[in-house]
Amino acid sequence: MTAPAPASVTVPLNPVPLNILSIQSWVSYGHVGNAAAVFPLQCLGFEVWAVNTVQFSNHTGYGAWTGAVFPPELVADLLDGIEARGALPECHAVLSGYMGSEGTVGAVVGAVQRVRAANPAALYCCDPVMGDVGRGVFVRPELPELIAAQAIPAADIVTPNQFELELLTGQTVNTLEDALSAAHALRGRLNPNGPQIVLVTSLTRSDAPQDTIETLAVTGDGAWLCRTPLLPLDPPRNGTGDAIAALFLGQYIRTGDVAAALSLSMSALYALLERTHHAGTREIQLVAARDDYAAPGRVFEVERVG
């Protein structure tokens, strides 16, 4: 069964700004971490409170960079300042990405707890950045276990890629049935008071059509698959996982509909990657794709699979 494309989804204008606290890395050149997440969310109409955990010249995929890792205490310190403005009750969601140290994991979870104390309805979307197919685990060895033990149980939405899903669950994913099983296993460990959404990105399974790539959204109410053409981007572009986590979270908050959020966010991501492919650039063309975030020109339908 294929769901209709949500091109007709009308998102009402909200007279009150929606605010997202985004705790991630930052690069001056290119787009990863907050440098990939903030702008798309702003294009969707969100106010984004960016807390940067590092500031580097460029992403580490180049093999060399300059800059500094900020101490984890900075996260709590900046939250102190935001709280002093009386703003935390108006925070609608927390988004986290790469966590470079044990202290950063604790600082992020602490920030989520502080936001929820002020606004119990606030969502936490955790992008558990730990590794990828071909690269393996690229964070410190202790981080996967810490993220699994501390961040995952606090999350309402988690957005692992296929490699990270396998790492978090200990299950091998080769087929759609494997992916659904692993996603449901991970769902059972998320915040029991939240929507418990698992978004599996960069899914390449043996029983999928050739030259495609998929994203799978699994909830307690069902599962949906969105398939797009696989663009020949070699090497894979950094920042795409950061962008899709932000786009999905934003569209889910705007629509309240997982299937619509999946279709709209994946359609926007494909437009971004298509522009990047045509430009032949090493960095994703985040600004050039600005018109596609809220209203993608080509909308990919979702298929209900569970």
- Of residues 301 and 9, the one with the higher pLDDT is 301
- Of residues 212 and 17, the one with the higher pLDDT is 212
pLDDT class for 15, splitting at 50, 70, 90? low
Model-wide pTM > 0.85: yes
pLDDT value, residue 8: 45
Closest of 183, 149, 151, 144 to residue 165, by C-alpha: 183
65 pLDDT more than 50 = yes
pLDDT tens profile 78-89: 999 999 999 999
C-alpha to C-alpha distance for 177 and 218, rounded to whole angstroms: 12
Pairing between β-strand 212-218 and β-strand 197-203 as defined by DSSP bridges: antiparallel
Instruction: Starting at the earlier edge strand, list the strands of the sheet with 302-304.
Output: 67-69, 46-56, 18-27, 91-96, 123-126, 157-158, 197-203, 212-218, 223-229, 302-304
pLDDT value, residue 7: 45
pLDDT value, residue 104: 94
pLDDT value, residue 236: 87
Tokens 């950045």, residue? 129
Tokens 């140290």, residue? 101
pLDDT value, residue 100: 82
Looking at the DSSP bridge assignments, the partners of residue 55 are 26, 68
13 pLDDT more than 90 = no
